[in-house]
Structures are given as structure tokens and as C-alpha cells.
Structure 1
Amino acid sequence: MILHPRNCVAFTGHRLYRDEARLLLPPTLERLYDRGFRTFLDGMAVGFDLAAARAVLELRERHSDVQLIAVVPFRGQEHRFPAAWRRLYDEVLDAADAVEILAEAYHRGCYAVRNDFLVDHAQVVVAWYDGSAGGTRYTVERARARNREIINLHPRAVILPESDAVLF
């Protein structure tokens, strides 16, 4: 699959996300749509990723030209999820316009490969980032280093130093 970053939005966020941005995601996605973004890349992780994917599917109900690309770090990722999240994962995967599976099996570093793919193929990264260490921090820092626009929906939005990216 060949994607041009200037047309794509990616998501990154914490697994401990508990639907706190439920009211923020729809208007954020609508504004991105108004700016011309039609392709949304989702890393398919428990928490913010799957919530964002669900919001993209709702956006697609209003705008038929929206595409959701499920970026799966390895085949069988969902087997590690709790049952409720696995159901949502299956629903999102079935509804996605395309699925990009990056590895046939889990391997050390596969989540970083997925995060790199998301940033490298997007112009905008929508985050749920509270400043804590982990994969979300890695992804936000990579997005900043690659001069991607960052939209952080977390109420305690963290501003990274030396960033030209937009945080709001």
C-alpha cells in the first residue's frame, strides 16, 4: 500500500484511555476532514487507538470518501486483548477500508515498527498523550522530529521542547 503522508492522519494514545475524548474526537475529525484529510491510519491498540477508529467509522457515515486503514503490528495482536476490546477490534477490522499487517508474528520492536509506519505515512498525528513514558511518547517525539502536526486531545496536553508542531 502506497500512502502519501500529506493526505493522512494517524492516531497514538495510551492503552489506559477510558473514552475521555469521546466528545473531542468527532469535531476534531470533522475539522481535519474540512482541511482535506480523507485517510486515517489506526494502530489498532486497546484504548485510544480503537476509540479513534470507531470515531473515524462514524465520520465515514457522514462522508463516504473517508477511509480507515487498520495498521496491525502483527497477525494475532487481538488475542492479547480483553474480550470487550477484542470485539471492538474485530468490528473495526471488518469495517476498515484496508488492513496493513506489518509482521506475521509478534517480535521485539514490532510496536515501534507500527508507530514508525503511522508517523512516516501521516501529516497529522492525533494523540491522547499525558507526558508519561512509553510508546505514545515515542510516537509523539517521532512525529515532532519529522515535523508532523500534533493534535493532543489530553486535558493535560504536554508541550514538547523545540517543537514546530501544533499542540492543542
Structure 2
Amino acid sequence: MKNHLLLFFVFSLFFFNQVQAQTATDFVKLDAYFEKMVQDWDVPGASIGIVKDGQLVFTGNYGTKEVGKNEKPDSNTLDAISSNSKAFTSAIIGMLVQEGKMGWNDKVKDYLPYFSLYGDPWISANVTIRDLLSHRVGLGTCSGDVIWYKSEADAEELKPKKIR
């Protein structure tokens, strides 16, 4: 399964660069391709969104939410994509840095005032974007993963809350 996800993300990066270079895209063919991709790559399900110039221009949900069930994924489906989120989070932040909207050494609290790490308040106040992306803030491997995995809690319940 991990190889399929990695292959999908590599394909996506290549494909979306190609989409950007074209002036018109046949979304009907694209939709059919993604439907076939899920079957050919033996991926249980996929949800795809394409954003161009800040506008959502395509969405599609393919396969099933869960192996052995017949329910299609939708815009509220949460997928366990493991560490793939690190790749696109750092890529998006890199784009913001390149555009001058953010700096690698900016403090996280400048963007997320509620950000807090357990322990020393000085660390919470001074940790930088670079620190988080470099894994040098003292969090253990997979810290926080069990908070949401197989949880019945919704996203609102999992949002950070200020410790009193």
C-alpha cells in the first residue's frame, strides 16, 4: 500500500506540472483516468482535488472508503496518508518562503498564536518553522498519531486547546 501511495504522489507532482503547462484540460478524460488508476494500482480509494490559480477546478472521489465496503469516499473522508503530509506541508511552506510570505526562521507562534509544546514555555514561544520541519523540538517519533487514529472524535474535538 505504501508503494502505491508514493507512486501516486510522484505521479501527482508530475501530472499537476503538466496540467499547469496546458491551457485546457479534458476533465472528463481525467476523471476516467483516475477511476481506472484506482483499479489498476489496486488502491482502495482516492480523493483528488486540483487547484489552479487559487481556484478549485476539479474534484473526484474514487474507489471505496474502506476495503470490503461499498461506500465511496467524499470531501469529509479522512485518509491515513502517513508521513506523506510532511512532503506537501514542507513544499507549500517552501513556496511561501520563496514568495516572501514566510521565513524558515519565523516563529511558529507568529502564525499559530495558540501553538504550545508541553514543558518549557520558552521553547513554545521561540520554536521556528525550520525547527518543526527539521524535527528538532524534542517530540518523539509518531508523537500525537494515536490522538486521532481510529478515533471517533471529529476534527473540532481534536483541535489544540489552551491548557489552563
Do these two structures clear the TM 0.5 threshold for a shared fold by scoring above it? no
User: Hey, which of these two has a bigger chunk of strand by percent?
Assistant: 1
TM-score, normalised relative to structure 1: 0.23
TM-score, normalised relative to structure 2: 0.24
